[in-house]
A = this chain, B = another copy of it.
Amino acid sequence: MSTPSLLILPGDGIGPEVMAEVRKVIDWFGAKRDLAFDVSEDLVGGAAYDAHGVPLSDETMEKAQQVDAVLLGAVGGPQYDDLDFSVKPERGLLRLRKEMDLFSNLRPAQCFDALADFSSLKRDVVSGLDIMIVRELTSGVYFGEPRGIMTEGNERVGINTQRYTESEIARVARSAFELAKRRDNRVCSMEKANVMESGILWREVVQKVHDEEYPDVELSHMYADAGGMQLCRWPKQFDVIVTDNLFGDLLSDVAAMLTGSLGMLPSASLGAPMANGRPKALYEPVHGSAPDIAGQGKANPTACILSFAMALRYSFDLGAEADRLEAAVEQVLAQGVRTADLMQAEGDTPASTAEMGDAIIAAL
């Protein structure tokens, strides 16, 4: 196989800082493990808007379609708040998700043992927590038409449309069942079938895919509001959660925060297999662009580094190398190296973004 290609899109805020540490890790794999990647870099979000007047240029979109995997930092910032909706930084990310058809967004919510006390939840509620949230990423209210702000009579009305087809639901359900088979074999599907017809169809299709294709996986259904409650009450009851784009946005953020390790959590967004058998893929940290600390060398690069570990596992079938990288992160945490977001006592001096990256390299 030819050298695998990576497109790096650092984006806005702390994106460039954390991505610089990922570059070090990529270089380490090239030098020490003989795993060369063909890396290119480009702009997305506010950075792309500043350069080109759009949050993702057609050229960058085209590149993203060609490469084996995209690594994204973060998008957004207050300086872009007043931009027109169509050119907001987020639209760049949403365009990537939509045009690459990355329908399955994997968001592990894992509690790192060394960080369990950092959660606002009690230690026994979160220690050892390991949930995988599978969020549908290319449809639902994020993309449904009609949408917009219209005038009706003498006032304006804001409209968005939640839309799910059977095949859109079925493919993300399959991806959840496949993951469950390699984990604890349990899937909980969440919607609001008690108030939304789209939720009724969601529940029905997930059940059908289960019955016909994955009868051995344990499947349960929960209303999304009850799901949010249960995540806060006893998150360890879950293995894989599958849900739609908007509920997934909220529930995965709640789950991420529970772990106390927001700066540690990666994500993978996967689409259909390409000609070379690899899935279309984009990897990004769960955290945002954190404009308040951008440019200060304070950001935690771990979530972005672990996103690269997910790339090794899901795009390049290098599970053992991904394990190696994840183990290095665990080791650094065990050593007590902490960026500012992971510190409890005011007195201690936190590690900088670069120091954290270097510590992970050293542990490798």
Contacts and interface: CB of A to CB of B under 8 A. Distances in A.
A149 B198 CA distance: 7
Contacts of A183: none
Interface stretch (A46-54, A252-260, A297-305, A308-316): A252-260
Interface in A237-259: 246-247, 249-251, 253-254, 256-258
Contacts of A147: 196-197
A194 interface: yes
Interface in A159-212: 159-167, 192, 194-202
A214 interface: no
B121 A201 contact: no
A159 B161 contact: yes
Contacts of A234: 120
A76 interface: yes
Interface residues of A, number: 61
A94 B192 CA distance: 14
B229 A232 contact: no
Nearest to A163: B159
Contact of A121 (B120, B198, B253): B120
Contact of A200 (B85, B125, B155): B85
Nearest to A166: B155
Interface stretch (A29-37, A59-67, A220-228, A321-329): A220-228
Nearest to A244: B158
Contact of A197 (B158, B164, B256): B158
A158 B246 contact: no
A330 to B, nearest CB: 23
A294 interface: no
B201 A229 contact: no
A150 to B, nearest CB: 9
A152 B152 CA distance: 28
B162 A157 contact: no
A225 B250 CA distance: 4
A90 interface: yes
Nearest to A117: B122
Nearest to A94: B195
Of the candidates A165, A249, A254, the one having the most CB atoms from chain B within 10 angstroms of its own CB is A254
Please name the 10 residue pairs, one residue from A and one from B, whose CB atoms are nearest each other, closest first.
A158-B201, A158-B198, A225-B253, A229-B257, A160-B162, A232-B257, A228-B254, A155-B166, A120-B125, A157-B165
